[in-house]
A and B are shown apart, each in its own frame.
Chain A
Amino acid sequence: DIQMTQSPSSLSASVGDRVTITCRASQGIRNYLVWFQQKPGKAPKSLIYAASTLQSGVPSRFSGSASGTDFTLTISSLQPEDFATYYCQQYNSYPRTFGQGTKVEIK
């Protein structure tokens, strides 16, 4: 199975900060990676698919990038509504696997 190692597990940031979350795959997954945002009590929401393609309706402050087996989600200027938990998931092969999640909290 492909392991997805996500870091950090949590971070504290202020409104307006630039935030970066990383996901490393244990083997090549091409660009078959999706980033989800989950707020408490809500279903996950897809933000970015194919590593760097913004889902329709998602603000442009979110971006994704890839370098080999390392993937990055960047929030360029953190907004109050962005405080949530973020997950990566590979969909290159079965079983699909998620990262452990990154909780973004208010500093």
Chain B
Amino acid sequence: EVQVVESGGGLVQPGQSLRLSCTASGFSFGDYAMSWVRQAPGKGLEWVGLIRSKGSGGTPEYAASVKDRFTISRDDSKSIAYLQMNSLKIDDTALYYCSRRDGDYWGQGTLVTVSS
């Protein structure tokens, strides 16, 4: 059974950093791109970024709103994708979801709250 579980969310102050983890199981993790999508309270879905599989170059792509502040990486030996978030802003407050590829399987999300 395919499972995706996010962790690492919490309450941080503006300007601080946080690293989210996305732990996958039930499939050959290294063969798949992994995506991050966020949803601010009461709002729609916003694509954050994606990291390709190593076989497709292993490179990331980012939304303009997070580029140069967020970094996506992966550790295929552990079946984990990471979202390193630096210089956090109040507008980054959201439920952060991880999904396989472009959303065929999703985790339940981890909440990030940026507040002073």
Contact = CB atoms under 8 A, between A and B. Distances in A.
A45 B44 CA distance: 14
Interface residues of B, number: 20
A96 interface: yes
B22 to A, nearest CB: 12
A96 B102 CA distance: 9
A55 interface: yes
B109 to A, nearest CB: 6
Contacts of A36: 45, 103
A38 B95 CA distance: 14
B112 to A, nearest CB: 16
A80 interface: no
Interface class of chain A by DSSP = loop
Interface of A: 1, 34, 36, 38, 42-46, 49, 55, 87, 89, 91, 94-101
B97 interface: yes
Interface in B66-116: 97, 102-109
Nearest to B67: A95
Contacts, number: 51
A89 B107 contact: no
A58 to B, nearest CB: 11
Contact of B97 (A43, A89, A101): A43
Nearest to A38: B45
B104 A46 contact: yes
Contacts of A55: 104
Q: Return the 4 tightest CB-CB contacts between A and B, nearest first.
A: A43-B106, A96-B47, A91-B102, A94-B61
Contact of B103 (A46, A95, A100): A46
Contacts of B46: 98
20 contacts: A1-B64, A34-B103, A36-B45, A38-B45, A42-B108, A43-B97, A43-B107, A43-B108, A44-B37, A44-B45, A45-B106, A46-B105, A49-B102, A49-B104, A55-B104, A87-B44, A89-B47, A95-B62, A96-B35, A100-B44
